[in-house]
């Protein structure tokens, strides 16, 4: 048997986290924590643990649905998982990640799909990838009353254009463009900005130059908050682990061990034992035998 996990004490009941809370946290210099979730129990546990925001990320495609990259996941699949997360989380700010081709074709489609995350799935905000080329979509979506989180740097939906999952902003020119994109997205109305896989000193500079909170993933410690893909943090996604991930558990091993023990118990008739078994009163059993 593995060592039992320490007893979990939920954080005290707290107020709903909003985009205003995000802004206040940046003003006060309080770091923002965000994690991804795709289902009810995970969302419930991380919400009770006190996470500020939950992102129903399109990383769903890779870590839950087993695709090679994030491109294949559809709006309907994202909404299905977002609804489960909304049922589990009571306080965290909920952000629905707009999947590939749900906002790139036209701003009309972008605002319609963004609206579905709030109207049909209980999300509080949406996230979309890209810089200056997304400014118009951000303007139209936010003018419909839908908060938008931007996402620049390594934008996984552009994996083919970027030539792989690689760090961005490593030359002076690329770094200047990312800073410009951040300022444009802030001006377009984003309430927050994910910075993925960019040099730490560039992330620091961007975080100082914009007034909205930056949420880093592989962007160093000077961002206003941090996000990780939960399956990476828990050691559940074994295809690859990016350098910037800190693994807080190895659930892959824990699960493999538990499954192995179950299979052995079934094979040796150790499971189910008496305490897992339903019985009927003796007199009813005797009656049955007599009937037969
Ligand atoms: O889809 C996702 O999980 C994300 C995070 C990596 C920020 O976009």
The residue behind tokens 């590939």 is: 100
The residue behind tokens 């900005």 is: 193
CA 59 to ligand 1: nearest atom: 1
DSSP letters for 56-78: E-TTHHHHTT--SSSTT--HHHH
* Residue 64 CA to ligand 1 centre (angstroms): 13
- pLDDT-based confidence at 1, cuts 50/70/90? very low
Residue 215 has, within 13 A of its CA and on its CB side, a CA count of 26
* Residue 218 CA to ligand 1 centre (angstroms): 11
- pLDDT-based confidence at 3, cuts 50/70/90? low
Tell me how far apart the alpha carbons of residues 17 and 34 are, in angstroms, rounded to a whole number. 11
Helices (H), the chain: 19-28, 40-49, 60-63, 75-88, 107-119, 135-143, 159-162, 172-188, 200-209, 230-233, 251-267, 282-291
CA 14 to chain centre: 21
Mean pLDDT, the chain, integer: 96
Q: Quick one: DSSP state of residue 12?
A: P
CA 194 to ligand 1: nearest atom: 7
> What phi and psi, each to the nearest 5 degrees, are found at residue 96?
-95, 130
pLDDT at 242 over 90: no
Nearest residue (by CA) to ligand 1, atom 1, is: 57
Report residue 176 as tokens.
């200047």
Give me the domains of the chain, ranges plus CATH numbers. 19-249 (3.20.20.60), 254-291 (no CATH)
Digit-coded pLDDT (tens) for 81-122 = 999 999 999 999 999 999 999 999 999 999 999 999 999 999
Ligand 1 lined by 193 (C-beta under 6 Å): no
Q: Which pLDDT does position 67 carry in this prediction?
A: 97
51-60, 103-112, 235-244, 251-260: range with lowest mean pLDDT? 235-244
Nearest residue (by CA) to ligand 1, atom 2, is: 57
pLDDT at 187 over 70: yes
Nearest residue (by CA) to ligand 1, atom 8, is: 57
**Single pTM value for the model:** 0.95
Nearest residue (by CA) to ligand 1, atom 6, is: 229
In angstroms, what is the C-alpha Rg of the chain?
23
Ligand 1 lined by 35 (C-beta under 6 Å): no
Out of 94, 150, 154, 217, give the residue to mutate to test ligand 1, the one with the largest number of ligand atoms within 8 Å of its CB.
Answer: 217
Tell me how far apart the alpha carbons of residues 14 and 266 are, in angstroms, rounded to a whole number. 44
- Residues 123 and 56 sit within 8 Å (Cβ to Cβ): yes
Q: Which pLDDT does position 13 carry in this prediction?
A: 83
Ligand 1 lined by 57 (C-beta under 6 Å): yes
Tell me how far apart the alpha carbons of residues 262 and 258 are, in angstroms, rounded to a whole number. 6
Q: Residue 217 region, left (φ>0) first, then alpha (ψ -120 to 50), else beta?
A: beta
Residues with active-site annotation: 196
Out of 196, 225, 228, give the residue to mutate to test ligand 1, the one with the largest number of ligand atoms within 8 Å of its CB.
Answer: 196
pLDDT at 48 over 70: yes
Digit-coded pLDDT (tens) for 262-280 = 999 999 999 999 999 999 9
Tell me how far apart the alpha carbons of residues 121 and 79 are, in angstroms, rounded to a whole number. 6
Digit-coded pLDDT (tens) for 201-211 = 999 999 999 99
């Amino acid at each position: 048997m593995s060592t039992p996990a320490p007893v979990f004490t939920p954080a005290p009941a707290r107020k709903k986290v909003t985009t205003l809370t995000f802004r206040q946290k940046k003003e006060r210099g309080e770091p923002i924590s965000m994690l991804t979730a795709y289902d009810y129990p995970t969302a419930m546990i991380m919400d009770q643990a006190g996470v500020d925001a939950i992102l129903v990320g399109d990383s769903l495609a890779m870590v839950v649905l087993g695709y090679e990259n994030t491109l294949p996941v559809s709006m309907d699949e994202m909404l299905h998982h977002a609804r489960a997360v909304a049922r589990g989380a009571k306080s965290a700010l909920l952000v629905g990640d707009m999947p590939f081709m749900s906002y790139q074709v036209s701003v009309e489609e972008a605002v319609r799909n963004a609206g579905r995350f709030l109207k049909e799935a209980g999300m509080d905000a949406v996230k979309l990838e890209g810089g200056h080329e997304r400014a118009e979509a951000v303007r139209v979506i936010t003018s419909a009353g839908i908060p938008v989180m931007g996402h620049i740097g390594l934008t996984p939906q552009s994996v083919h254009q970027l030539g792989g999952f690689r760090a961005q902003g490593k030359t002076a020119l690329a770094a200047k463009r990312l800073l410009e994109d951040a300022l444009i997205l802030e001006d377009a109305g984003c309430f927050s900005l994910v910075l993925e896989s960019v040099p730490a000193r560039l992330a620091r500079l961007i975080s100082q130059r914009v007034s909205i909170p930056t949420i880093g993933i592989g962007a160093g410690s000077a961002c206003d908050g941090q996000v990780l893909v939960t399956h990476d943090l828990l050691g559940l996604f074994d295809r690859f682990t990016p350098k910037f991930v800190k693994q807080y558990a190895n659930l892959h091993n824990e699960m493999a061990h538990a499954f192995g023990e179950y299979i052995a118990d079934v094979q040796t008739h150790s499971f189910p034992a008496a305490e897992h078994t339903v019985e009927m009163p003796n007199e009813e059993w005797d009656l049955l035998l007599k009937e037969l």
